[in-house]
Amino acid sequence: GPKVLQIPSHQIIDMGQMVTLNCDPVSNHLYFYWYKQILGQQMEFLVNFYNGKVMEKSKLFKDQFSVERPDGSYFTLKIQPTALEDSAVYFCASSSGLGGRYAEQFFGPGTRLTVL
């Protein structure tokens, strides 16, 4: 079936540095999402992106976070600067629409971010 890819699978950085997480969504999908999952906890919505704009974001989507998808390439999540509490697995997802059968989200395998 359709695949979402995430690069890298694991990233280790020092607190205060910038990090960019990359997502290659399903090719004809229009809606893109990021989720955060701290070890042992539930997956939580961060942001939804469509047509070059953030549609909705949660309170977890701090000012240090930004998303973009320049020219249809990777959908990225940038954190600048990083903090210790940003350590988590970040899942990217995409969907072709919002309603009915188009609402199914396809998830990537996640990027494990470790902030030291």
Partner 1 sequence: GDSVIQMQGQVTLSENDFLFINCTYSTTGYPTLFWYVQYSGEGPQLLLQVTTANNKGSSRGFEATYDKGTTSFHLQKTSVQEIDSAVYYCAMRDFTGNYKYVFGAGTRLKVIA
Residues near partner 1 (CB under 8 A): 4, 33, 35, 41-45, 48, 55-56, 58, 91, 93, 98-101, 103-110
What is the CB-side half-sphere exposure of residue 49 using CA atoms within 13 A? 24
* Alpha carbon distance 95, 112 (integer Å): 22
Identify the H or E element spanning 23.
strand 19-24
If the CB atoms of residues 16 and 109 are measured against partner 1, the closer one turns out to be: 109
Q: How far is the CB of 34 from partner 1 (least distance, A)?
A: 11
Nearest approach in angstroms of CB 68 to partner 1 is: 18
Give 91's DSSP letter.
Answer: E
Which token pair is 113?
């971010």
Nearer to partner 1, 57 or 81 (CB): 57
Question: For residues 9 and 17, which CB has a smaller minimum distance to partner 1 in the complex?
Answer: 9
